[in-house]
Amino acid sequence: MGGKALEVHARRDLPLGMPPARFLRDYWQKRPLLIRGAGTGFRLPLSPEDLAGIACEDGALARLVLHDIDTGRWRLETGPFPESRFASLPRSHWTLLVQDVDKWDVDVAALRDAFAFLPQWRIDDVMVSYASDGGGVGPHSDQYDVFLLQALGIRQWRISTDRKAPQALRDDVELKMLARFSATHAWRLEPGDMLYLPPGVAHDGIAEGDCLTFSIGMRAPAQSELLLDLAEHLAEQMPETRRYGDPDLAPARRAGEIDAASLARVRQTLGPLAATLPTPELADWFGRFITRYRAAQMASPPPRPTTSAAFDAALRAHRPLLRHPWSRCAWSRRGRAATLYVAGRALPCSQAAAVIVCGSATIPAVAARRLPASDRQQLCDLLNDGHLRFGSRPRGSQ
């Protein structure tokens, strides 16, 4: 961790244990820090009963996390909750979490003033958690900065600063809980102590007796969220007359192909948004986009799926495949292979299979039979999704 102390003591004139500029330089988004006595003189702005009351209000973002220590199972419940729910909770190993408490309580909102050294737009909310003895939400990591202020009771925090630690999540719980967690540091936080965690630091907090913790979390939009909103913002300013165009279009060489010239026109139409997007990603997005039909109609799966063996038998019986009229198709090259796009879905296949599917609305059985087994399986999957169906055997076929 670069030799920097991970634990400091606050002073009345230095609630971070150091000047804000030093904290931002040495710790912010770099390493965790435990600040003993950061909340010296802190007055509890709300009681556990007040928190439960907010969790019962319409519109409240509340969750209950219950841990059965006998079976090891975790259960998640989402609010708002009826008042009777709290009377039926077990004596231990549960946690109530309520987000945006600063929007409900002015005294909780005042806590944000202690973080005036940060841009106010950077602070997302103040979440408050009440935990019974042994309560917690399991080991996890957040993708944003958070200050964990202990307000009532004692909570043990274990964290891991191991950047190479496994990040896989458990698949048997609704929570984003780490499958494996090995702590590198552990502390007991008493009222007034505050733990700062930068993004990605795995942590696990367990209550020792009943406790109340305030989590001041930062707003850290994902790149995908920013890009989506920017695209919508730019789209609102663009006139309908600005459209994809191809006045230089040459005759199509192979049915349904999204070729290099087409992708170049897509880039030109999108402008700066697509300037740095790699060609394979651009082709994959455009293939999915352009094959999704503009109306709500879409193919429906048949009542009974067809097995691979039955599919091949039908082809041997010379039954052609018919493409559903609502199923739009296109494809793009992937080296010597191809990606076939059908109604927004991407399927790896050979170029021969892509041309067959994107060509005539009727695929002759003899053409489908010549395809490799992997391609025929893709056609069978399209059949079972409703994008293809078998037609009648042509007259005179043997």
The reply to whether the predicted model has a pTM over 0.85 is no
Instruction: State residue 24 phi and psi, 5-degree precision.
Output: -65, -35
Fold entry, domain 230-398: Malonyl-Coenzyme A Acyl Carrier Protein; domain 2 (3.40.366)
**What pLDDT was estimated at residue 326?**
87
Could you give the CA distance from residue 63 to residue 82 in angstroms, rounded to a whole number? 12
Higher pLDDT, residue 224 or 139: 139
User: Dmax over Cα atoms in the chain, in whole Å?
Assistant: 96
Per-residue model confidence (pLDDT) at position 226: 82
Task: Give buried/exposed letters for 193-232 (b at 16+ CB in 10 A, else e).
Answer: bbbbbbeebbbbbbbbeebbbbbbbbeeeeeeeeeeeeee
Tokens 């909103």 correspond to 229
Count of beta carbons in the 10 Å neighbourhood of residue 23: 18
CATH architecture for the domain at 7-218: Sandwich (2.60)
Domains of the chain, residue spans:
7-218, 230-398
370: phi > 0 → left, psi -120 to 50 → alpha, else beta; which? alpha
* pLDDT tens per residue, range 110-146: 999 999 999 888 999 999 999 999 999 999 999 999 9
Q: In this model, does residue 2 exceed pLDDT 70?
A: no
Helix, strand and coil percent figures for the chain, each rounded to 5: 30, 25, 45
Q: Helix, strand, or coil here: 127?
A: strand
